[in-house]
Amino acid sequence: MTELILIAIGAALVNNVVLSQFLGLCPFLGVSKKIETAAGMGGAIIFVITISSAITSLIYTFILEKTGLTYLKTIVFILVIAALVQFVEMFLKKAMPALYQSLGVYLPLITTNCAVLGIAITNVQKGYNFVESVVNGLATAVGFTIAIVILAGLRERMEYNDVPESFQGMPIVLITSGLMAIAFFGFSGLI
């Protein structure tokens, strides 16, 4: 149990997928303009990374390792992730059309989000079993959600501040992201 807690804290805070590993920057920077859309993207990412971690762990353990086809892991993982994203996209289109519209092009981009694939491959590289893979996937996705919601909150507040013209737009967002990464670096002593 202690090991699972360490994996969760490490994935969410210490080795934050966006602020420490720099994976998944496209939706992090693109969808973080409003807290509502950032939280929606975070929810979609939580679902996709957690489920894909579970499915890819099972496929790798019971199919790829047993048949000696471990070299196909990247292709298989991409196919699993693409199928899950299509499911999420269909669900959001029917159940939450406003969120589906606000996420726009970034929802299909979850398929190519390197964070999703990166976590599936990291689970295999670290030799995590099924439960550890799911915990790592969930914690990583929660860490992504924490980071994107914090950045969205900061960006909403920055709209009302007097930012110099040369820093308006993406430059101030990148500076803010860098400062967030430095702040999250403070968690490195936890584990």
Q: Which residue has the tokens 């990166």?
A: 118
Concatenating the DSSP letter of every residue in 34-88 gives SHHHHHHHHHHHHHHHHHHHHHHHHHIIIIIHHHT-GGGHHHHHHHHHHHHHHHH
For the entire predicted model, the pTM comes to 0.88
The pLDDT value recorded for residue 98 is 85
The pLDDT value recorded for residue 27 is 85
The pLDDT value recorded for residue 89 is 84
pLDDT profile of the chain (191 residues), mean per 10: 92 92 88 89 88 94 94 92 86 86 75 85 94 96 95 92 87 93 88 76
Model confidence over 92-102: pLDDT tens digits? 889 888 878 87
- 113 and 24 Cβ atoms separated by less than 8 Å: yes
Cα dist from 174 to 13, 109, 149, 167, whole Å: 19, 20, 15, 10
Residue (of 42, 33, 39) closest to 155 by Cα position: 33
